[in-house]
Amino acid sequence: MPVSKHQFNLEPSIDFDTVANKKQQYEVNVLCSELKLKLKVMAGGDNKKAEKKPKANVSGGGKKKEVKKETGLGLSFKKDENFGEWYSEVVVSGEMIEYYDISGCYIIRPWAMSIWEIMQTFFDAEIKKMKIKNCYFPLFVSPGVLEKEKDHIEGFAPEVAWVTKSGQSDLEVPIAIRPTSETVMYPYYSKWIRGHRDLPLKLNQWCNVVRWEFSNPTPFIRSREFLWQEGHTAFATKSEADTEVLDILELYRRIYEEFMAVPVIKGKKSELEKFAGGLYTTTVEAFVPNTGRGIQGATSHCLGQNFSNMFDITFENEKGEKAKAWQNSWAYTTRTIGVMVMVHGDDKGLVLPPKVASVQVIVIPVPYKDADTQGIFDACNATVETLSEAGIGAEADFRDNYSPGWKYSHWEMKGVPLRIEIGPKDLANNQVRAVRRDSGAKIDLPRASLVEQVKEILYKIQESLFEAAKQRRDACIQTVKTWDEFVEALGQRKMILAPWCDEVEVEKDVKARTKGEMGAAKSLCSPMEQPEIPEGTICFASGKPAKKWTYWGRSY
């Protein structure tokens, strides 16, 4: 399926004129036509004027019967047929996201927020072990400071949002909203760091940042405001900085692979793709098979001494000499959640890996006419209690205005890893029926060994989600050696591993030669684990001697 570059551009925008100013007028017509489609799809879910009462919408959960008939619970789009629409619909119907009346901004609902909190708890504890401390720097940056590092500001300037008024008064000087906090923080690093004993200085903050982007706003993946952590550290030596870059990258890998069950490739970004103003950028790179696009999962940058030069972050070393600090910065964002949805979701909705699901098991009573309804309800309550006591996130859905079938669909839409059904037969046999969200497999579990078996199943779900995702990802990886092979693989939307000469001009050339309606190819990363490069191997694009293996493809 060809996937339009504009498929995510579907929410109403209040600033088309500004978009036009950004020389993207050509996209506006596409946007408008797709907007109409979208509004039709939303079936009355009025996203543009949220202050008006919508009549009904596609988000199933918690809605009453008159709003959402059982037959209307499914998704309107299929993942393999219209991925962009499917994604928009699944994050809304799964109650992760609500579209907001300002384009590119999204409401993160509790169902998604709980995932963010689980990862936060993990990551925050890990960095505290590394003696990194949390702090909070202001949202606002004055222009002089923001513009201090030239390469850096070139990278961010077009996306900076400016505050120019308070109340009815104009500010004397416009104030920027942080797109990232290097320039916010480093003037103070300069102040705080005097001698080698002040190093390392290792700070982190959990906050919101704003990048007023105009291309492809997509929930989680690309939004104008997003949540992240940003770590900013300073060291006396490059080797300490290098070590930390990789320690953090490993935590990012764990977030994706151990929590999100999403396989990633650890690698290094090219000169063209590295962080603006930094020395080198490492990345965990994910891949979305349905769109054939790579996606930068999280990045850990060594800034070298570029910022310490600009911001005069110097210290007296042990020999009494002046030296510049070596700096890192690293961040991961709410994008992680979007990648997870894209990789695991299916035509029934979200599929949550057990490790990030706040509700891991949903217990649903299946009463029959003339059956012992109270007994069934009691068994459901007891099941929830038993599982909760064992540390498993379990809830029961006792709502009396929905049928069991509706509830199955509802909790499948929300991606709960395991469903437990309890009906008269289960009650009689002192068992429960467990149904896996990922595979649909049904297993009868004796209530006596419930906890151990549920734990085992959740563990298996986590594992097999990762394995399945890895198989799908690996099936998309293609090794090429020539330009023709490269073009062919790109046409098949592969993640392409190719020998490369590692020259900036050649990457620019690859971009220029692959420009098209689906977007140009670029380097994704050079994997840390490099396959051997036999003597005489040449670059797929330039014919010069190849220096490294690099992944290429289209990307988000």
Residues 253-292 that bind its own copies (CB under 8 A): none
Residues 18-37 that bind its own copies (CB under 8 A): 18, 21-22
- Kindly state the number of chain residues that form the binding site for its own copies, as judged by CB under 8 A: 87
**Beta strands of 280-370 (E only): which ranges?**
280-288, 293-304, 314-316, 322-324, 326-333, 361-365
| Complete edge-to-edge strand list for the sheet that includes strand 418-422 | 394-396, 361-365, 418-422, 431-436, 442-446
The site string for its own copies over 290-329 (x = CB under 8 A, - otherwise) reads ---------------------xx---x-------------
CB 402 within 8 A of CB 66: no
Q: Out of 80, 81, 117, 467, point to the residue binding its own copies (CB under 8 A).
A: 117
**Nearer Cβ to its own copies (3/199):** 199
Residue the block writes with tokens 């190819």: 521
Residues 464-493 that bind its own copies (CB under 8 A): none
Nearest approach, Cβ of 4 to its own copies (angstroms)?
25
Nearest approach, Cβ of 168 to its own copies (angstroms)?
8
Nearest approach, Cβ of 242 to its own copies (angstroms)?
24
Residue 126 backbone class (left: φ over 0; alpha: ψ -120 to 50; beta: rest): alpha
Residues 51-80 that bind its own copies (CB under 8 A): 51, 53-54, 57, 62-64, 67
- Is 105 a binding residue for its own copies by CB under 8 A? The answer is yes
**Nearer Cβ to its own copies (139/533):** 139
Nearest approach, Cβ of 101 to its own copies (angstroms)?
6
Cα angle 492, 470, 291; round to 5: 35
- How many angstroms separate the Cα of 22 from the Cα of each of 31, 104, 384, 460? 15, 15, 54, 48
Nearest approach, Cβ of 210 to its own copies (angstroms)?
7
- Cis preceding-peptide flag for 219 (omega within 30 of 0): no
Nearest approach, Cβ of 80 to its own copies (angstroms)?
30
Structure tokens at 515: 């420009």
CA 308 to chain centre: 30
Q: Out of 35, 41, 145, 468, point to the residue binding its own copies (CB under 8 A).
A: 145
Q: Out of 33, 43, 110, 475, point to the residue binding its own copies (CB under 8 A).
A: 110
CA dist., res. 97 & res. 108, Å (int): 5
- Is 225 a binding residue for its own copies by CB under 8 A? The answer is yes
Q: Out of 86, 106, 220, 408, point to the residue binding its own copies (CB under 8 A).
A: 106
Q: What is the largest CA-CA distance in the chain?
A: 88
Nearest approach, Cβ of 77 to its own copies (angstroms)?
21
Nearest approach, Cβ of 163 to its own copies (angstroms)?
5
DSSP letter (8 states) at residue 249 = H
Enclosing H/E stretch for 379: helix 373-389
**Nearer Cβ to its own copies (187/519):** 187
**Nearer Cβ to its own copies (21/439):** 21
Nearest approach, Cβ of 358 to its own copies (angstroms)?
9
The site string for its own copies over 156-185 (x = CB under 8 A, - otherwise) reads -xxxxxxxxxxxxxxxxxxx-x--------
Nearest approach, Cβ of 550 to its own copies (angstroms)?
31
Structure tokens at 428: 């009689």
Enclosing H/E stretch for 133: strand 133-134
**Beta strands of 178-292 (E only): which ranges?**
201-210, 225-235, 265-268, 280-288
Q: Out of 69, 78, 197, 508, point to the residue binding its own copies (CB under 8 A).
A: 197
Nearest approach, Cβ of 436 to its own copies (angstroms)?
26
Q: What is the dihedral of CA 463, 466, 467, 472, to 10 degrees?
A: 160
Task: Name residues whose C-beta falls within 8 Å of residue 244's C-beta, 6 or more positions apart in sequence.
Answer: 130, 233, 235, 328
- Is 102 a binding residue for its own copies by CB under 8 A? The answer is yes
Closest CA relative to residue 476, chosen from 554, 371, 362, 391: 554
Residues 376-415 that bind its own copies (CB under 8 A): 399, 401
Stretch near its own copies under the rule CB under 8 A, chosen from 4-12, 98-106, 465-473, 510-518: 98-106
**Nearer Cβ to its own copies (157/428):** 157
Closest CA relative to residue 270, chosen from 530, 552, 554, 491: 552
Stretch near its own copies under the rule CB under 8 A, chosen from 187-195, 270-278, 286-294, 387-395: 187-195
Q: Out of 6, 39, 100, 547, point to the residue binding its own copies (CB under 8 A).
A: 100
CA dist., res. 53 & res. 44, Å (int): 10
